[in-house]
Amino acid sequence: MRDRLVSISMTYREAQPARSLAQLGLTLALLLASYMAGMAVSQRSISAGMLFAIASSAFVVRLFIIQHDCGHRSFFRSHQANDLLGFWLGIVTMTPYRCWRRFHALHHANSGNLDHRGIGDIYTLTTQEYEGLPLLRQWLYRLYRHPLILFVIGPPFLFILRQRTTFKIPLEWKIERRNVHTTNLCILGLGALLCGIYDPFVVLSFHLAVMSLSAIAGVWLFYVQHQFPNAYWKQRSEWEFWRASMEGASYYELPTMLRWLTANIGLHHIHHLDARIPNYRLYECFLNHPEFATSRRFGLRESFKCMNLRLWDTQAQRMVPFPSTSRHRQMENAT
């Protein structure tokens, strides 16, 4: 099965420059139009401008996925073209391209590997690890995995503030650290240009709204692509890349418009199997080959049930919620 899937995926690898340029041009045009309209409307009414902020954030998400393709060197045939576009899109998405690309490569190389967690992914404990923690660290983990932190407060903090720093970037990653500072300078320059045209308060409030909404949407997409009931987590000795791709990444079946806005990233199992496939060819691959039908398939409404999943149960081989408070008390009394 592995060889069959890999041989199929390789036939969809090659980027098609005309489609790449059309996708990029249309998305940039839609973002620019909604962003400028939002700025203009916000001069008179901040609340009315927020409607355009929602539209702009959707196009930022789409541009981020194009940047994501550049990071995998799949959007253009030229490595230099991918890296150049990826850098400039990183200014729009407030995500330093080189730094993100390296962390994301580690995520792809180790997704579902219990011995390599917490780098470029949402940190996940097993039930045994969680139960072995002191009470304070259990509550810190609970705080980290709380929906308000994970999906509302955390994403804007990560994209707007955390990615402006070199915190947790190894000192030897000199190119990546320099990329953070270069991206920050370009963001400041773009912000100064906009403040010269529009009211600085409007610029700041509108842009923060756009980036907060797009960050929340982006983190949610990333979450449901790997945090679902019958996911895949194995120790390194048992871990297999192709199974981690097909069983540890979901098919998030979205309505047509949302699938377009998210550039087919919901077909995450195919993407993880072969990250060199451009986003606009993922759906072709899925439709043409029933081998990519997957039990890790769920729709928009069903996906919200994944919010309560917190731990990996190694015995049941499933993602599970936190144990109940009463069970916690029983454990404390037993000790």
Give the range among 110-124, 138-152, 182-196 with minimum mean pLDDT.
110-124
Is the confidence at residue 329, as pLDDT, over 50? no
Question: Average pLDDT, stretch 137-154?
Answer: 96
Query: Could you give the CA distance from residue 121 to residue 77 in angstroms, rounded to a whole number?
Result: 27
- Any domain includes 317: no
- Any domain includes 180: yes
- Any domain includes 165: yes
- Domain residues for 184? 2-115+146-300
Is the confidence at residue 327, as pLDDT, over 70? no
Is the confidence at residue 334, as pLDDT, over 50? no
- Any domain includes 315: no
| pLDDT, averaged across the chain | 93
Closest C-alpha to 226, from 54, 107, 72: 107
Q: CA 137, 171, 160, 100: dihedral to nearest 10 degrees?
A: -100
- Any domain includes 214: yes
Q: Is residue 93 a contact partner of residue 71, using CB atoms and an 8 Å limit?
A: no
Each residue of 46-102: pLDDT tens digit?
888 889 999 999 999 999 999 999 999 999 999 999 999 999 999 999 999 999 999
- Any domain includes 136: no
Provide the number of structural domains found in the chain. Answer: 1
Name residue 252's beta-bridge partners. Answer: 298
What does pTM read for this prediction? 0.93
Each residue of 15-52: pLDDT tens digit?
999 999 999 999 999 999 999 999 999 888 888 888 99
- Any domain includes 225: yes
pLDDT at residue 117, as a whole number: 86
Closest C-alpha to 212, from 171, 153, 168: 153
pLDDT at residue 76, as a whole number: 98
Which amino acid would we find at residue 277? I
- Any domain includes 285: yes
- Number of other CB atoms surrounding residue 284 within 10 Å: 13
Q: What's the alpha-carbon Rg for the chain, to the nearest Å? A: 21
Alpha-helical runs (H) found in the chain = 2-10, 17-42, 46-71, 79-93, 97-110, 127-131, 135-144, 147, 154-156, 174-197, 200-224, 241-248, 256-261, 268-273, 279-288, 300-303, 325-334
